[in-house]
């Protein structure tokens, strides 16, 4: 039996505008998401901002009710058996909030241990274990407001694990961390998977999903557009080739001309300060560099790199198609 299962999950947000003439606006954030996560699996939900990742995770953690469809965690219905679900899960989100920053890490962990009814005798050893796990041993009596962002995030993980839940929901846990802090945290997450936890991780960092996840679902505009192992998703673009062109002040018309070129599968534009990076995907073997540069005639060109596709290219291809 899957540990986490959703079936045709939908969530509509309603907002009202206007004072005299009130208008109700409905936004469908999740449109029929179905997924299954097996025991001990680290499952990645990958998608851009506003794709529906956090809404899905909030439904699974019982903070939101689905508009329709169903979801279960360890067989418990998240809408009707919220209390049972809450006992079995740990929920960790990214960012600096979600902690009592005027208190020490120890006080934060003790409080949440009481909230989750961890027996008093087991609390000390459990908290010690967690402080070791997240590398905060020796700093536990310092006030959280004096911690770095990375330390706070690791404390978040410890808080989410204080009652030793079998299922863990991690909502963009590495967001805003410096590269070293993010790498340390990824190491901690990998350790949790090794310890047998079932984990649902949302992220928009491709390398993170590639590095950590057993399986990935790509979500865009509220729908799952692809699902599989990182290798399977990469294979979607295996027959392609990628050309990166650094341009300065390229006009929209020039980019549209590039898109329209025969043999071009997709074009993604990344803004980098004064420059833009055009990531052009094409069929393998297509000799396109000259044609591309011709279409960009009149635009200042920087470096041009030809490379093999990555998971990120697969992701851009999938998300761009929606």
Partner 1 sequence: MIRLAARGVLLQFKILSQSAFDMLNAAFWPLVFATIAYYLFRSGSHARSLFDASLGATVMTMWATCGIGAAFAVQWQRRLGTLELLVASPTPFIALLAPITIAYAALGIYSLASTLLWGRVLFGIPVDPVHPFLFVVSLPAAILAIGMLGLLVSSTLILYRAAGALGNSLEYPIWLATGLLVPLSLLPGWVRPISWLLAPTWGMRALRESALGGSPLPAIGWCLVTSAAYAALAAVFLGHFERLAREKASFALT
- Interface ranges with partner 1 (CB under 8 A): 13-14, 58, 61-65, 83, 86-87, 89, 91, 93, 95, 97-103, 107, 110-112, 114-117, 120, 143, 159
Structure tokens at 274: 């004064």
Q: How far is the CB of 163 from partner 1 (least distance, A)?
A: 9
Q: How far is the CB of 51 from partner 1 (least distance, A)?
A: 16
Q: How far is the CB of 71 from partner 1 (least distance, A)?
A: 13
Task: Indicate the residue among 107 and 211 with the shorter CB distance to partner 1.
Answer: 107
Tally Cβ neighbours within 10 Å of residue 185: 23
Task: Indicate the residue among 65 and 231 with the shorter CB distance to partner 1.
Answer: 65
Helix axes 149-160, 120-133, angle to 10 degrees: 140
Task: Indicate the residue among 115 and 238 with the shorter CB distance to partner 1.
Answer: 115
User: Which of 226, 231, 204 is closest to 53 using CA atoms?
Assistant: 204
Distance CA 187, CA 174 (A): 11
Task: Indicate the residue among 25 and 117 with the shorter CB distance to partner 1.
Answer: 117
Q: How far is the CB of 295 from partner 1 (least distance, A)?
A: 44
Give the burial class of 23: count Cβ atoms within 10 A of its Cβ; 0-12 exposed, 13-18 middle, 19 or more buried. exposed
CA dihedral 200, 203, 207, 213 (to 10 degrees): 10
Which residues lie below 8 Å from residue 76, measured CB to CB, with a gap of 6+? 84, 85, 88
3-state secondary structure of 92: strand
Task: Indicate the residue among 30 and 247 with the shorter CB distance to partner 1.
Answer: 30
Q: How many CA atoms lie within 13 A of 160 on its CB side?
A: 27
Task: Indicate the residue among 43 and 169 with the shorter CB distance to partner 1.
Answer: 169
Which residues lie below 8 Å from residue 232, measured CB to CB, with a gap of 6+? none
Q: How far is the CB of 33 from partner 1 (least distance, A)?
A: 16
Task: Indicate the residue among 4 and 99 with the shorter CB distance to partner 1.
Answer: 99
Task: Walk across the sheet containing 68-73 and list its strands.
Answer: 23-37, 4-17, 68-73, 76-77
Q: How far is the CB of 290 from partner 1 (least distance, A)?
A: 50
Structure tokens at 209: 């999903």
Task: Indicate the residue among 166 and 263 with the shorter CB distance to partner 1.
Answer: 166
Q: How far is the CB of 139 from partner 1 (least distance, A)?
A: 17
Reported as type and span, the H/E element at residue 76 is strand 76-77
Q: How far is the CB of 92 from partner 1 (least distance, A)?
A: 9
Q: What is the DSSP letter of 157?
A: H
């Amino acid at each position: 039996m899957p540990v986490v299962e959703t079936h045709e999950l939908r969530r509509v947000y309603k907002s009202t505008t206007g004072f005299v003439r009130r208008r109700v606006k409905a936004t469908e954030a999740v449109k029929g998401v179905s997924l299954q996560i097996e025991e001990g699996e680290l499952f990645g939900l990958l998608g851009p901002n506003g794709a529906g990742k956090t809404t899905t995770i909030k439904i699974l953690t019982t903070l939101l009710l689905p508009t329709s469809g169903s979801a279960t965690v360890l067989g418990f219905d998240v809408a009707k058996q919220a209390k049972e679900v809450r006992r079995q899960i740990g929920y960790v989100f990214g960012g600096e909030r979600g902690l009592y920053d005027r208190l020490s890490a120890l006080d934060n962990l003790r409080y949440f241990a009481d909230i989750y009814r961890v027996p008093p005798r087991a609390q000390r050893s459990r908290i010690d274990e967690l402080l070791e796990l997240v590398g905060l041993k020796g700093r536990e009596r310092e006030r959280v407001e004096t911690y770095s962002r990375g330390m706070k995030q690791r404390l978040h993980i410890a808080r989410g694990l204080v009652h030793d839940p079998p299922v863990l929901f991690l909502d963009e846990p590495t967001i805003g961390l410096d590269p070293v802090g993010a790498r340390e945290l990824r190491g901690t997450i990998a350790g949790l998977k090794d310890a047998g936890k079932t984990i649902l991780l949302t992220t928009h960092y491709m390398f993170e999903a590639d590095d950590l996840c057993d399986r990935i679902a790509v979500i865009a505009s509220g729908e799952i557009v692809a699902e599989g192992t990182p290798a399977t998703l990469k294979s979607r673009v295996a027959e392609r080739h990628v050309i990166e062109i650094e341009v300065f002040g390229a006009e929209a018309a020039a980019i549209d001309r590039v898109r329209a070129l025969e043999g071009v599968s997709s074009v993604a534009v990344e803004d980098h300060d004064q420059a833009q990076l055009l990531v052009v995907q094409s069929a393998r073997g297509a000799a396109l560099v000259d044609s591309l540069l011709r279409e960009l005639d009149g635009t200042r060109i920087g470096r041009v790199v030809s490379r093999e596709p990555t998971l990120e290219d697969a992701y851009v291809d999938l998300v761009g198609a929606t």
